[in-house]
Amino acid sequence: MQVYLPIAEMTVNALLILGMGGLVGFLSGMFGVGGGFLMTPLLIFIGVPPAVAVGTQANQLVAASVSGVMAHWRRGNVDVKLGSVMLAGSIVGTVIGIWLFNLLQRLGQIDLVIQLSYVIFLGLISSLMLTESVRAMVRRRRGRSAREKGPQRAWQQALPFKMRFEKSRLYISVLVPAAIGALGGLLVAIMGIGGGFFLVPAMIYLLGMPVSMVAGTSLYQIIFTTAVATLLHAYQNQTVDVFLAILLLAGGVIGAQFGTRSAGVLRGEQARALLAVLVLGVCLKMAVDLLTPPADVYSIEMLARNAAVGESP
Amino acid sequence: MRPGAWLRIVLLAGMLSAGAGRGAGAQALVADLSEHLIAISTAFTGTEVVLFGSIEPPGDVVVVVRGPPDAVVVRRKAPTAGIWINEASMTFADVPSFYGVASNRPVREFASEAALERHNIGLDSLRLDAVAPEQYNPEQIAAFRAGLIRNMQEQGVYGADIGRVAFLGDRLFRTTLSFPANVPTGQFIVSVLLFRNGEVVAAQTTPLFVSKIGLGAEVFTFAVRHGAAYGAIAIVLAVASGWLASVIFRRG
């Protein structure tokens, strides 16, 4: 079934897009990550212009996160108070990120920076997660207590503006979650992803949140961050394709429901190990792309295509 | 193509041949398209347009199709510390967004080099002007130009061979021009040239409009003119469908 996408200006197979949305949605519901880091490269791979892939992706992440957060909400796994503190930081990060994005675009190096950030962030986070989750699995096998001891967070105790987050049983400075949110927002603006792959481990390792609360709370925060990103992309660049987004989110919301249900099947460290392997795979693919000679060293970019609006005989 | 269009071709071809038969007073070249509008609807997967006409023999016919011009930036990557980075760029102005040539036999068999050059026939002769050429040497411009053409061919919008002109007898000719799904929108120029003794003796140009229609066109126009409202609608749509899905699944 072929469908013409008016903003991407190309024809795609609707079933392929539905399937991609479903797969990424499943992972999104399962791990509490938005899946943008998978979907954006997939869309570019099938020929969607990178700018449209990023803009549309932000839109589809809104739907996937709403759908995902509802299921967590019903189980009481969303810490709205902590999520809102993170959100405040994330909006600041998004604004700074958009400014940086424009600067890099003027310098003509935005593609390189996007690819390098993917490699660095995904590589760093996946190796951290992989080591930790493998260690946790080994501990469990040896029959020791599965109860993880949080890392030393003495430095955090010294920070001011402490607040009590009853739901997560934390008494911490608001500066830490706000800073995590800000870095997440920066990633949304520059890399065109929800940032879940960064938020989830940061919330576990830096905040010491209960693992059960992490997915719901990060999804709650991602809804608003991606909504802001959608608005900015639609307004500034006209790169949000609603037809593509509807197809992706139709597949995505269904996949996310199954994913959320499967989340209970895996133990925390198993889920994290799987996610780490997935993230590492994307990271390696990006690194290889940067290091191997391209098929054609010349590439083109059309300018001023929007001039064709409203032209008719 | 619509059955009505075929009827039109047959009738017009008949009239053209009758007119051409009247002798010396007739035009040396007459041509028209079966359709002057390519409508891109949501189910668009590419299309074909029939070009037909009549000549005063003898002669060879070349058809050149050019899409609306755009400025294009061509970038070249080079390895820096092992990483492939865009290190140089060149902008070309007025690059046809679509380009194709059709002829009744290979153009080099009947057209002079000068005529090919003058009428932009073939990818080698296509005029592509770099912006601020004084900054580069001729070899650099040639390499970027070749890179530009290669990328356009890769996208399927440049073809040296868009179709074949077939003669029915020695006066009537027709050709089928094919356009891919990613055809750019705007006003195309279809030029039909009649060659005799290596030079162009008659020419005719016909406009061809490629335009989005229906829901897709309205969405596109709205997105460009009212970006903020479009973005807000996109968000509402996403929130509603995400919520709807979770409600459906809770009951299911």
pLDDT confidence bin for A154, thresholds 50/70/90: low
Using an 8 Å CB-CB cutoff, list chain B residues near A60: 238
Q: Do the Cβ atoms of A18 and A250 come closer than 8 Å?
A: yes
Are B201 and B231 found together in one domain? no
Range from A278-292, B120-134, B229-243 carrying the lowest mean pLDDT: A278-292
HEC sequence for A107-174 = HCCHHHHHHHHHHHHHHHHHHHHHHHHHHHHHHHHCCCCCCCCCCCCHHHHCCCCEEEECCCCEEEEC
- The answer to whether B74 faces chain A, any CB pair under 8 Å, is yes
Question: In the sheet where B47-55 sits, what is the strand order?
Answer: B29-33, B47-55, B172-179, B166-168
Residue B171 has pLDDT above 70, yes or no: yes
Residue A230 · residue A55 · CB < 8 Å:
yes
Contact B53, B31 (CB under 8 A): yes
For the CA atoms of A80, A81, A84, A89, the dihedral, rounded to the nearest 10 degrees, stands at: -140
Query: Which of A218, A269, A253 has the alpha carbon at shortest distance from A33?
Result: A218
Q: Between B35 and A262, where is the model more confident?
A: B35
- Least CB–CB distance from A253: residue in B85, B186, B241: B241
Instruction: Give the residue numbers spanning the domain of B235.
Output: 213-252
**Quick one: pLDDT band at residue B24, thresholds 50, 70, 90?**
very low
**Which spans in chain B are helix H?**
3-20, 113-118, 138-154, 214-225, 227-251
The encoded tokens of residue A249 equal 């989110």
Q: Are residues B161 and B196 in the same domain?
A: yes
Same domain, B114 and B218: no
Least confident of A19-33, A72-86, A94-108: A94-108
Q: How many domains is chain B partitioned into structurally?
A: 2
Q: Which of A203, A128, A215, A129 is nearest to A170 (CA)?
A: A203
Q: Identify whether residues B107 and B81 lie together within a single domain.
A: yes
Looking at the predicted structure, is the pLDDT value of residue A259 above 50? yes
Contact between A87 and A224 (Cβ < 8 Å): yes
Q: Which residue is closest to B80 within chain A, CA to CA? A: A291
Q: What is the CATH number of the domain that holds B74?
A: 2.60.40.1930
Considering the domain architecture, whether residues B172 and B234 belong to the same structural domain is answered as: no
Point out which residues pair with B188 in neighbouring strands. B208
Rounded CA separation A186/A198 (Å): 11
Beta bridge partners of A163: A172
Q: How far apart are CA A73 and CA A83, in angstroms?
A: 13
| Separation in Å, CA A164 to CA A170, A182, A210, A267 | 6, 20, 15, 28
Q: Which among A10, A70, A298 has the least Cβ separation from residue B182?
A: A10
| Closest by CA position to B163, among listed B210, B94, B102 | B102
pLDDT 10s digits, B109-131 = 899 999 999 999 988 889 999 98
Q: Inspect the interface and report whether the beta carbons of B235 and A243 lie closer than 8 Å.
A: no
Give residue A312's pLDDT.
31
Determine the 3-state secondary structure of A180 from DSSP.
Answer: helix
Tell me which chain A residue has its CA closest to the CA of residue B67. A308
Contact A235 B79 (CB under 8 A): no
Tell which wins on pLDDT, A168 or B94.
B94
- Chain A positions touching B239 (Cβ under 8 A) are 62-63, 66, 223, 227
User: Do B150 and B241 share a domain, yes or no?
Assistant: no
- Among candidates B79, B82, B241 on the partner chain, residue whose Cβ is nearest the Cβ of A63: B241
**Same-domain status, B85 and B201:** yes
Q: Which residue has the higher pLDDT, B16 or A55?
A: A55
Residue B210: its pLDDT value, please? Answer: 93
- Kindly indicate the confidence band of residue A106, based on its pLDDT and cuts at 50, 70 and 90: low
Residue among B68, B234, B249 minimizing CB distance to A308: B68
- ipTM at complex level: 0.78
Among B71-75, B82-86, B89-93, B116-120, which is the least confidently predicted range?
Answer: B82-86
Q: Work out the average pLDDT over A127-135.
A: 81
Contact with chain A for residue B1, Cβ under 8 A: no
Q: What is the pTM of this model?
A: 0.72
Q: CA-to-CA distance for B97 and A237, rounded, in angstroms?
A: 21
- The least confident of A101-105, A299-303, A307-311 is A307-311
3-state percent breakdown (helix, strand, coil) of chain B, nearest 5: 35, 40, 25
Residue A306 pLDDT greater than 60, yes or no = no
Predicted confidence (pLDDT) at residue B228 exceeds the cutoff of 70: yes
